[in-house]
Amino acid sequence: MVEYGIVAADSAVTFDSNLTFKPDAKFRAQRLDIDVYVPVHQKLVIDAALWRLIDTDVISDGSYRRIMLNEETQTWEVTEHGLTCASCPPTLEGKEYSSSDNDERQSDLRDFNSLDLQGMFDVRIEQGDHYQVDVEGDDEERRHYEVYVNGETLVVDFDDDKRFWKRNLLSRPEIRIRITMPNLKNLDISGAGKLRFSGFQEESINIEMTGAVSAEGDVESEKMTVKLTGASTLELNGHGQFLQADVVGASGLKAYGYEVNHAVISAHGASSARVNAVDRLEIDKGVASTVSHKGNPEIIKD
């Protein structure tokens, strides 16, 4: 029904990038696993384009996953612990991004005001005048996470054993992350777990949550933008001037404790939103969704 080609010429082995379907073949989400056996301590060059096909669990050090994400061509050596990079810069060899070297990692992760978090986690984010990141959890599970700064965003990136066929995330062990940072502008979360953030006073905060995340926040922000999907819930306390929220699926916003002058709420699916608006409340909701409020605002329904 399907074909896959592997061509060996001299010392080079070329793998097809995709399966090829024969005429009249039916698509059944076919999947191909290939085991490649290489002698221990044999060095080999892995082309950048091949990284999207490789099970990253064979890599000996979680810090090397950054090479995979950037699709870099490097020379590797097969050891008893897995693939070890033989040509990588020293900062990638278990130092700057090592899962077991918390002190050095904390000193290198700085100058960020946004967070992009993925995985199964228990996260606490606090406002402070310095930058600090602590990651705790089972050593084996931490190998699936990479922590780095991209621009002004601290990224906690989750990588499962099979990149295109994710296992049930809820069955995975939880890791604990503690983050201290001066300012919080954007918070983008996907996966499952618990999250708390507090102490921030900002002009604008944007929050996006996807999956099964339960979050609590105690902040002050003149403008708050919230987008919740999946089965995520967000409880807000504090106050601001303007709140715009989009809740869909089975998600829920609990913001009775977050007083604003003006709120714009869009709720669809089986979602719910509870808001505290003083002057004006605009509502756009589906038949199965609910929006309730505190305060005595002017209510405008779409």
Average confidence (pLDDT) over 48-76: 59
3-state class of 40 per DSSP? coil
For residue 42, with 0-12 CB atoms within 10 Å meaning exposed, 13-18 middle and 19 or more buried, which class applies?
exposed
Cut 0.95: pTM above it: no
At residue 121, the pLDDT reads 86
48 against 188, higher pLDDT = 188
Domains and CATH numbers, the chain: 2-92 (no CATH), 102-301 (2.160.20.120)
Cα 211 from Cα 176, distance rounded (Å):
18
Cα 67 from Cα 173, distance rounded (Å):
25
> Is it the case that residue 269 has pLDDT exceeding 80?
yes
β-pair partners for 293: 275
Backbone CA torsion sign across 50, 56, 61, 67: positive
**pLDDT, tens digit, for every residue of 148-190?**
999 999 999 877 544 433 445 455 667 889 999 999 999 999 9
Helices (H) and strands (E) in the chain, counts: 3, 18
Cα 202 from Cα 187, distance rounded (Å):
13
- Residue appearing with tokens 């870099």: 72
Cα 91 from Cα 98, distance rounded (Å):
10
> Is it the case that residue 205 has pLDDT exceeding 60?
yes
- Write the DSSP symbol of residue 101: -
44 against 153, higher pLDDT = 153
Distance of CA 75 to the CA centre of its chain: 29
170 against 242, higher pLDDT = 242
Give the chain's end-to-end CA distance (angstroms, integer): 52
Q: Please provide the average confidence, as pLDDT, over all residues in the chain.
A: 81
CA-to-CA dists, residue 236 to 37, 175, 282, angstroms:
53, 24, 19
- Residue appearing with tokens 């699916």: 269
**pLDDT, tens digit, for every residue of 85-103?**
777 654 333 333 334 444 3
For residue 288, with 0-12 CB atoms within 10 Å meaning exposed, 13-18 middle and 19 or more buried, which class applies?
exposed
